[in-house]
Amino acid sequence: MRTRTLLLLAVTCGLAILIAGTVQILRLAGQDTQPILAIGDTGTAGDANVTVTAFEEVDGVTTVTVTLAGVDDPAGLNGFTLVGPGATAEPNQRGQQACTGFTVAPVTCTLTFGSATIEPGDRLLVFHRATESARWKLV
């Protein structure tokens, strides 16, 4: 190949990379990011409203007090996950104040997670419903 052909190919490849990078930046800039909520904040996912009112972690058991409202769904607790360094946990409901599901009227109850396998550090409570999610920073 001649030098002129190689230079034209190099310029064309450079332009293709530049265009692809610009398209990717525009895609990322257009994404809506969900804010991370704090204790006391209300999050909405789908048709459910969740307010985290308290958090406690003692002897490998994490208890999160929440107020649930907005929809009548006894299986709605499946959307909760506790996320920490190196592991996640699903709620294992126990205790007198344990949540039993969502109701239209606000209900305050507790979510209990086994957190002995989660390393010390940050904790996030994540709630997924439909195609939406809400996240609370607990620690």
Q: In angstroms, rounded to a whole number, what is the distance separating the alpha carbons of residues 20 and 15? A: 9
pLDDT in tens, 49-106: 999 999 998 888 899 999 999 888 888 888 899 998 888 888 887 777 888 888 899 9
User: Coil, strand, or helix at residue 139?
Assistant: coil
Total domains in the chain come to: 2
- The predicted pLDDT at position 32 comes to 63
Residues 26 and 54 in one domain: no
Which pLDDT band holds residue 131 (cuts at 50, 70, 90)? confident
Residue 8 sits in the same domain as residue 44? no
pLDDT at 2 (0 to 100): 86
| Structural domain harbouring 89 | 36-137
C-alpha Rg value of the chain to the nearest Å: 23
- Same domain? For 46 and 114 the reply is yes
- pLDDT bracket for residue 37 (50, 70, 90): very high
From CA 64, how far away is CA 97, in angstroms rounded? 11
23 and 73 belong to one structural domain: no
Q: What does the pLDDT read at residue 30?
A: 67
Q: Can you give the pLDDT at residue 108?
A: 93
Query: Would you say 71 and 106 are in contact if contact means Cβ atoms under 8 Å apart?
Result: no
- CATH number for the domain spanning 116: value is 2.60.40.1240
